[in-house]
Chains A and B, each alone.
Chain A
């Protein structure tokens, strides 16, 4: 019985980590869909979100809902700024240039945080205080419940936004064909900015959930979840929103199970191994569409 309990607990852990990956992966996938670039700095937006929450909650002592709102706004604005300053001038540049710039931005954010907050990890208590529950011998922590609920809501809202609203249709149109979208009267620049803002806001939510779980801040905290979320986005099929959700959760469960039953140290290697295998067997991912390359 305890074996099954253990397995269920690991699965729930995986679901929790996976939901955070899914939230981050959504940002990657949306930006990739619309700007055809991998926003390497996306993982570091999580880090900025975590530090922003720390500044608002621990240093300024604001109430929790205000902190969360301000954090999301900070990240969304940062996302727009990054796009305007670093990516917009390179929209027609070769992809290698864009990629290197994105890495530069990621590095820049990390090092600014390093200079301001120093390298020593800062302990930071969770702002989400929900009691844990016990169902039939299985222990589920409060933060897990909150994470799962928040993720489900965020995904539902995002799906509704993209499929049902005018702004969402504009986003889909721009990702389909920029030139045609512009001819139909869609403001392409504004739509791209909006995509970055939404992606970064989701990253901020992920950052808040992440920091409430791990309770320690460091300038590189966003790098690894960022890369893993990218793996999740590729696993689900980059550019596909349901794919990012599915990929994130599958990856979270794989990681959690390999940590529990194989080796903690090798868990990262296994996660990246998944990426390699996916790219070799089905490069378009689980739910992605394969596009033929035109000359």
Chain B
């Protein structure tokens, strides 16, 4: 069993290195145009967002529609911090990331505590409501620049700093995928599968819900900081309901509860609109169709039969091993 785990770890490390090598070669090999260069960091940011949302939607089994809200809190907190500091860019960004992540996590805790009692539809609506509240409060406050936006943010996370961003992307993936495999992660999955049963065996449902919320919010906040230092100007309108849906589509398309799928979907959905510029009008429509089609397919008779067949095969092979 141990060998098997080692093998998959090695494969993942090789994959991560290959991805890094390819992107570096593309950046410094001069193979990409300006347009293509500009989507490298957004890809990374979206991977972070998708993986952090995957923890909530895929593993905790709760739909949140306010992920862009946490991202915006992180983005504003990080940007205000780096604007106030006067240090070398890398250190400023590092501090900004920590501040952005922690502030977003604190807000997730504040929001998470009251909504613990809710689940399903109600939770989705409340998170949507919180996303809107965050947006209008940012609009209202003075120091965030209001509707005009917060500008003058240093471009610390453009493609030249790919290595730095990439390390944080890997960190996000590593933390969340290991968390899911850990004891806590299994508790989170148990809450998803049957919360009454989970409660009955002594899992503190609210504790694990909050934990998932806070961790997810932390990484969304960090992604927000990278976003702020990539685009250079923040406007409350950038973090609306549509952004939350976009992240959700990535998670759903990747297969809910599948981190690798979420990563691939995030990269494809970020890169595709740039490649297919002419079809930009239809992008959102495509998202909508993907959401509906995936759900209908996942719950269709065909798919159910497929899952049953696979489970049967698995059971057969286990039986054989036993003999």
Q: Which of A55-92 contact B (CB under 8 A)?
A: 86, 89-90, 92
Query: Is A117 on the interface with B (CB-CB < 8 A)?
Result: no
User: A283 is contacted by which of B117, B125, B292 (Cβ under 8 Å)?
Assistant: B117
A295 CB contacts on chain B under 8 angstroms: 196
The CA of A280 and the CA of B116, in the complex, are separated in Å by: 9
B193 to A: closest C-beta gap in Å: 10
Q: Are A276 and B114 in contact (CB under 8 A)?
A: yes
Q: A269-B136, A283-B122 are in contact. Are A101 and B285 (CB under 8 A)?
A: no
A110 CB contacts on chain B under 8 angstroms: 284, 288
Q: A107-B288, A114-B284, A275-B126 are in contact. Are A280 and B117 (CB under 8 A)?
A: yes
Nearest to B298 among chain A residues (CB) is: A97
Q: A111-B285, A279-B126 are in contact. Are A265 and B291 (CB under 8 A)?
A: no
Q: Are A107 and B281 in contact (CB under 8 A)?
A: no
The CA of A273 and the CA of B126, in the complex, are separated in Å by: 9
Nearest to A268 among chain B residues (CB) is: B136
A280 to B: closest C-beta gap in Å: 5
Q: A269-B136, A269-B137 are in contact. Are A107 and B291 (CB under 8 A)?
A: yes
Give the size category of B's interface with A.
35 or more
Stretch from B16-24, B98-106, B127-135 forming part of the interface with A = B127-135
Interface string of B34-78 (1 = CB under 8 A from A): 000000000000000000000001000111010000000000000
Q: Are B282 and A86 in contact (CB under 8 A)?
A: no
B257 to A: closest C-beta gap in Å: 11
User: A108 is contacted by which of B137, B139, B288 (Cβ under 8 Å)?
Assistant: B288
Q: Are B299 and A97 in contact (CB under 8 A)?
A: yes
Q: A96-B61, A114-B284, A269-B133 are in contact. Are A107 and B245 (CB under 8 A)?
A: yes
Q: Which of A98, A99, A110 has most B Cβ within 10 Å? A: A99
Give the size category of A's interface with B.
35 or more
User: A263 is contacted by which of B140, B241, B287, B289 (Cβ under 8 Å)?
Assistant: B140
Stretch from A147-155, A181-189, A227-235 forming part of the interface with B = A227-235
A45 CB contacts on chain B under 8 angstroms: none
Query: Is B271 on the interface with A (CB-CB < 8 A)?
Result: no
Interface string of B271-311 (1 = CB under 8 A from A): 00000000001101101111110011011100000000000
Q: Are A101 and B136 in contact (CB under 8 A)?
A: no
A221 to B: closest C-beta gap in Å: 14
Query: Is A272 on the interface with B (CB-CB < 8 A)?
Result: yes
Nearest to A115 among chain B residues (CB) is: B281
User: A101 is contacted by which of B124, B129, B284, B291 (Cβ under 8 Å)?
Assistant: B291
A259 to B: closest C-beta gap in Å: 12
Query: Is B169 on the interface with A (CB-CB < 8 A)?
Result: no
Query: Is A217 on the interface with B (CB-CB < 8 A)?
Result: no
Query: Is B212 on the interface with A (CB-CB < 8 A)?
Result: no
Query: Is B121 on the interface with A (CB-CB < 8 A)?
Result: yes
Q: Are B296 and A89 in contact (CB under 8 A)?
A: yes
Nearest to A280 among chain B residues (CB) is: B114
A111 CB contacts on chain B under 8 angstroms: 284-285, 288
Q: A96-B63, A111-B288 are in contact. Are A265 and B120 (CB under 8 A)?
A: no
Q: Are A265 and B63 in contact (CB under 8 A)?
A: no
B117 CB contacts on chain A under 8 angstroms: 279-280, 283
Query: Is B191 on the interface with A (CB-CB < 8 A)?
Result: no
The CA of A255 and the CA of B288, in the complex, are separated in Å by: 31
Q: A265-B136, A266-B136 are in contact. Are A99 and B292 (CB under 8 A)?
A: no
Q: A263-B140, A269-B133 are in contact. Are A107 and B300 (CB under 8 A)?
A: no
The CA of A104 and the CA of B44, in the complex, are separated in Å by: 25
Subset of 25 A-B contacts with CB under 8 Å? A37-B121, A38-B125, A86-B296, A90-B295, A90-B296, A92-B299, A96-B63, A99-B120, A99-B121, A100-B252, A101-B296, A103-B65, A103-B245, A104-B292, A110-B284, A110-B288, A111-B288, A114-B284, A115-B282, A231-B125, A265-B136, A268-B136, A269-B133, A275-B129, A283-B122
Q: A90-B295, A90-B296, A97-B295 are in contact. List 20 more A-B contacts (CB 8 A).
A: A37-B121, A97-B298, A99-B124, A101-B291, A104-B288, A108-B288, A111-B284, A115-B281, A115-B285, A223-B241, A234-B122, A265-B136, A268-B133, A272-B132, A272-B133, A273-B133, A279-B115, A279-B117, A280-B117, A283-B117
